Each structure stands twice: as structure tokens, then as C-alpha cells.
A and B are shown apart, each in its own frame.
Chain A
Amino acid sequence: MTVISHHIPPAFIRAYASGSLSHGYSLVVASHVSQCDECRARLEAEEIAGGAVLDTLGTGGAASTADPLRDRVLSALDGPPPADVAWPRSGIYPGPVMQALEGRAPKWRALGGGIRQSILHADGSGSVRLLQIPPGEAVPDHGHKGIEMTLVLQGSFSDETGHFGVGDVEIADEELDHTPVAGTGLPCICLAATDAPLRFHSFLPRLLQPIFRI
């Protein structure tokens, strides 16, 4: 079993707990927490703090039993339970990723250089995708606008900041211009979320950016 050495920063866990994290980052946090007890404990502690704040919120007077919503809710108790689906882990993909894939295998598209991607979600708040990098290959040197959050699902990669194995999360901010290189062995498969487009320094990938929505 691999040991997770790069965790989700506490500020991100708190933002996830409070619902203020974007969809892409939330997917990375939920996927990491699914396999990291330390971060799960931190998340549950943050929720306890959130519950403590909720307890002390000014409510503008005591609850009224005349609240029409009260009757509506109490009379709905015998109705059918909500149909929430829990997606189980499948192979290397944690439950939240399976949820995003709706239970299907990823649809990979070639990005060049043997690198493939499968976009899970993209909107105005950013994007989240699966990336597959052949063993030993480098992802073109790139910088970021905003923050790139990357969770390793299979294999490993290394860059200027360290080595990242299965379960590890890298947070790359605007300052970091990095060239991740996949480890040898299995292809490196990552879940990567950004809140703004990446900036590739070489000419060709930049042309491809609108097409591939990187």
C-alpha cells in the first residue's frame, strides 16, 4: 500500500466543507478524502466546526410552530426516500470520479506526445479532467493562471517540487512553472482541476488549447 505524503491543504478542506469550492476542486478533494483517513478526519472536524457555527447563528427569534414548512415536511416523512446514488470505487477510480464518469470508462482523447485526456467537467469556474501520461514522458512546460490541483490515481510523477505517488495531491499556483515527468512503470493517470486555463510555453500546445479546453 502506498503512503500518501502530499495532502489537501486545510484551507481547501474548509472551503469544501463550507460549499465554497468550485466543482472541479471539490471533485479532487472528495476523491482524495475517499482514500485518505487523515484528510477525512480533518474534513469531519471542519464539519463539526461548521455545525458549531450553525448552532450559534442568530435566527431572528425562536422557531415558530406556525411555520408552514413544518407541516409540509412532517407530512412528507412517509414518502419515498430521496434517490441518492452512491458510486463505489472502480479499479483506480475513486467513487467521486465514477460519479463524474456516470459509471462508464473514460473516453480518452489524444493530446499529442502520447498524452491523453478525458474532460469530466468544464464551466466558467474552471475544468476538471483525467490525464494519462506514458511512463517517463514529460507534460509540456507550463505555467498557470490560478491554481492547478492534481491527484495521482495510478503511477507517479515528479516535478521541480517533489515526487507524487498514488493518492498524493499537488497544488500548483501561479508562481510555479513546472514540467511534470511521469514515473517509469505504469502510465501516470491523474485527476487534474484548474480554475483558469493553463499556459503552455511552446507554440503548438497553445494552438491546441481552445480545441482541448485546457
Chain B
Amino acid sequence: MIRPLTDRVMLGMFGMTELLSEEGPPPAQVKPAPRKVRRRMVKSSETELNDQTLWLLAVRDRRDRQAFASLFDFYAPRLRAMLSRSGCRGAAADDIVQDAMLRVWHKAHQFDPARASASAWVYRIARNRHVDVIRKAARPVPEALTVEDAPETDAGARIALDQEARRLRGALEGLAPDQRKVIEQAYMGELSHSEISERTGLPLGTIKSRIRLALEKLRHELKDLRTE
């Protein structure tokens, strides 16, 4: 039987920590414990969606301009920080932030909180826009999934994904500074692996092992969460 994509995204989040590690992927059937049992035992704030996702849903479902303004206030400085890391600043960066945020407004109907956090969705939109501008050509993007996987209303799936995203963020925050730096560089598109090697003068093997270390740490944190 084919597992729904929403489940697979979460498995992917666990699986991603085996990147570059030698032990291979964790067993595919490992899934987070059912949330219902835990929900009563944790504070209500932990079972609710984060602010950004709630704002984005308000934009999607009610065309809420105040919620959109909140999204802008949250993401505009972060997107500027992201863009400046690849040398895009000032008016050029503002144009990309504007284009990205307007797409957030107009494409909100495509947002599915059971598949992406608000931040993941904004990250993707801003990256697409940035690459379009750099290459002066439309970035190749995957076909959208068909109606079968249309935004769903299952609150449990949304909350489960939101919690996985929080845990991942917690794991990122728990990294040692140099490990964290490597991960940030990789996701902010600052440098390719070979460029990191050139920039720092370290042989590629060393960089790879640093990434491995960082990911190993991530994996252990996630494994601990899994066995809770």
C-alpha cells in the first residue's frame, strides 16, 4: 500500500538525518508515537500550531490582511538575512522579498499545513524567486501533486507535522556553533560543498565529516525523541 505523502514527508524528516552517515536509513516503519496519548500530558501551547502557520491559514482561509502583515513582519527580516548571505542586498533583495511575499498572499490556497510548515513554504517560494532572478530563467520546479493530495483538513496531521518541525528546529538549536554554521551554510545556499572547501582551505573530506558529525547529532536527538 502506498503511504500518503504527508506521512512520507515526516519519515523523510527522520530519514534526512542519515544523510552522509554510514549506517543507512532508519527502519521505514518507524513512526512517531500516536499524538493523542501525549496530547493530554503536554501543555496546550505545544499542541497548537505555531503562530506563522496560524497566520498563513488565516490568510488562506479568510484573506486576513492583519495576519499577512504579521507574516511580513516575521519573514521580511529573515528573508533579507537569508538573501544577504548569498550577496543579495538592498533594493535587489527587497524586490525578491516583495515578489516572494506577494506570492505568499496569492498562492496561499496551495498551502497544506499537513505537508509543510509556514516557514518551509516561504523558504521554498523565496528560493524559487531568488533563483529565477539570478539565472534570468524560470527555475525548474517539480509538477504539483494532483487532487489526491489536495490540502486536507485533518487537524491531527497538521499538528503532527508542526511538532516534527519544532523538534527539528530544537535539534538545530542544540548544535555546537561550528556544526550549526555548516548546516546553516548548506540550507542558506551560501556555499556548495566544494566552495566550502575552497573558502576554508579544508579538504573536502574534512567538511564532509563535519557535516556528518552535525547530522549524527541531529539524528541522535531525533532518535531520542522517537523512543520517548
Q: Which residues of A contact B (CB under 8 A)?
A: 10-11, 14-15, 17-20, 23, 26-27, 29-31, 33-34, 37-38, 40-63, 65, 67, 69-70, 72-74, 76-77, 79, 81-82, 84-89, 94-96, 99-100, 121
Contact = CB atoms under 8 A, between A and B. Distances in A.
Interface in B124-165: 124, 127, 130-131, 135, 137-145, 164-165
Contact of A44 (B80, B105, B120, B189): B120
Q: Is the interface of B mostly helix, strand, loop or mixed?
A: helix
Given A53-B188, A70-B72, A88 B143 contact: yes
B11 A48 contact: no
Contacts of A18: 127, 186-189
Interface string B98-140: 1101110111000000011111111110010011000101111
B57 to A, nearest CB: 16
A65 B168 CA distance: 30
Given A53-B183, A59-B77, A77-B68, 4 more contacts: A14-B19, A44-B116, A48-B116, A70-B73
Nearest to A53: B187
Given A30-B142, A70-B72, A96-B140, A19 B189 contact: yes
Contacts, number: 209
Contacts of B119: 48, 51-52, 54-55
Contacts of A41: 5, 8-9, 11-12
A51 B120 contact: yes
A55 B78 contact: yes
B8 A52 contact: no
Residue of A19, A29, A121 with most chain B CB atoms under a 10 A cut-off: A19
Residue of A31, A48, A74, A79 with most chain B CB atoms under a 10 A cut-off: A48
Given A11-B20, A82-B103, A89-B143, A44 B186 contact: no
A50 B12 CA distance: 14
A38 B142 CA distance: 13
A10 B168 CA distance: 17
B118 to A, nearest CB: 8
Nearest to B195: A20
B98 A11 contact: no
Contacts of B213: none
B226 to A, nearest CB: 15
B49 interface: no
Given A18-B127, A56-B172, A60-B77, A48 B120 contact: yes
B82 to A, nearest CB: 6
Residue of A57, A63, A74 with most chain B CB atoms under a 10 A cut-off: A57
22 contacts: A17-B127, A18-B186, A20-B192, A34-B143, A37-B8, A40-B145, A42-B16, A44-B9, A45-B13, A51-B121, A53-B172, A53-B184, A54-B82, A56-B169, A57-B81, A61-B77, A63-B74, A72-B98, A74-B68, A86-B143, A88-B143, A94-B143
Which 8 A/B pairs are nearest by Cβ-Cβ distance?
A51-B119, A45-B12, A51-B120, A41-B8, A59-B77, A18-B189, A95-B143, A30-B140
B42 interface: no
B176 interface: no
B37 interface: no
A87 B172 CA distance: 36
A68 to B, nearest CB: 9
B173 interface: yes
Given A45-B15, A51-B122, A77 B78 contact: no
Residue of B137, B184, B189 with most chain A CB atoms under a 10 A cut-off: B189
